[in-house]
Chain A
């Protein structure tokens, strides 16, 4: 494409400095509100939230959670971990990314991030936030249109849709607040098509 231009551009083809500066400022303001994006490779994604594990070694995360996540090549945790050790246990299965809520340890920028966070898995763009209030458009929260919007906080599993975005709340595997009982979600990614499974776990804690 560059060779479609004459070697010396007419002066009008060169942008005005004031225009460049003004647009640069506008973009900088917009960029400051956009969450970071992490690129990953994954086809089966385990999603959980509201684990509220407090033991120093994450031992109070039920074994049934790990069994249900077996085979996932990425695990996403949407906040309310309570203690960070739960991430250590999850990491024995697959790479883990999580967003923190107010009760969680400080972000480490590797596994635990201040939300919201964007995760690009192939053609699928996933937005993660500890909470997505009902009156907030996910596109506004994440600064862009996402294919999947994951959140926690309610302890109630939910799969819904707004526009082209699939909303998923995996519920809680430890403190369920609905008749559904303890739950997590497993999502199969195929191109930009996603299939969400809410996985029901035994009620007793291990």
Chain B
């Protein structure tokens, strides 16, 4: 039995007996969470999107019909729709907040919240960069690697890495100026 046929059997079993949905959940929760985290950049949002993805999947399970499309791809479509909703919500919140005069943060907790929000927005913007730009930004600033280390990792010269980083940062600035997270 191929992997696809085997998965179809697990899905069919869950449709005949919804108590078996747990098998599908266990197989895919890690991937869906990683997908959500990768796009949204913070754990709380990733958990919200993951939970809602599986709630919707369970509710829509009776309609799922394998047509050569892996079950994971179907889950991903639900998840990505929710991610896009969340990114749109953040974009609207950012537009709203930039249009309104803001009081300064009152305490350390609100400082942390603002920082987390900013970090999440930056992740959302980075996600819209071309793959090579995204990679150099993540290696230089998320993994904190030196230009030399990034050059080794990417198989490029240090000068090429610096140039790539400049273009990536310019792209990021441009996205931030446009306020665009419409991916």
Please report A residues at the B interface, Cβ cutoff 8 Å: 1-2, 4-6, 9-10, 12-16, 19-20, 23-24, 26-28, 30-32, 34-39, 118, 120, 125, 143-144
A31, B34: Cβ atoms under 8 Å?
A: no
B15 contacts across to A, CB distance below 8 A: 36-37, 39, 120
Distance of B139 from chain A, by nearest CB (Å): 10
B61 contacts across to A, CB distance below 8 A: 34, 37, 144
A13 contacts across to B, CB distance below 8 A: 33-34, 37-38, 46
Interface residues of B in 36-51 (CB under 8 A from A): 37-38, 42-43, 46-47, 50-51
Tell me the dominant secondary structure on chain A's binding face.
mixed
Q: A36-B15, A120-B63 are in contact. Are A15 and B58 (CB under 8 A)?
A: no
Q: Which of B31, B55, B63 contacts A27 (CB 8 A)?
A: B55
B42 contacts across to A, CB distance below 8 A: 12
The 6 closest A-B pairs by CB, nearest first: A34-B18, A37-B62, A15-B33, A31-B18, A37-B15, A13-B34
Q: Which of B12, B50, B51, B62 contacts A144 (CB 8 A)?
A: B62
Complex: A144 Cα to B35 Cα, angstroms? 26
A24, B26: Cβ atoms under 8 Å?
A: yes
Q: Does B69 belong to the interface (CB within 8 Å)?
A: no
* A6, A26, A28, A31 interface centre (most CB from chain B within 10 Å): A31
B16, A20: Cβ atoms under 8 Å?
A: no
Please report B residues at the A interface, Cβ cutoff 8 Å: 12, 15-19, 21-22, 25-26, 29-31, 33-35, 37-38, 42-43, 46-47, 50-51, 54-55, 58-63, 65, 72-73, 76, 138, 142
Complex: A30 Cα to B61 Cα, angstroms? 12
Given A31-B21, A120-B65, 16 other A-B contacts at CB below 8 A?
Answer: A1-B72, A1-B73, A6-B138, A9-B34, A10-B142, A13-B37, A15-B46, A19-B47, A30-B58, A31-B22, A31-B58, A32-B18, A34-B61, A38-B16, A125-B63, A144-B63
B25 contacts across to A, CB distance below 8 A: 23-24, 27
Complex: A156 Cα to B27 Cα, angstroms? 47
Complex: A28 Cα to B73 Cα, angstroms? 22
Complex: A15 Cα to B32 Cα, angstroms? 9
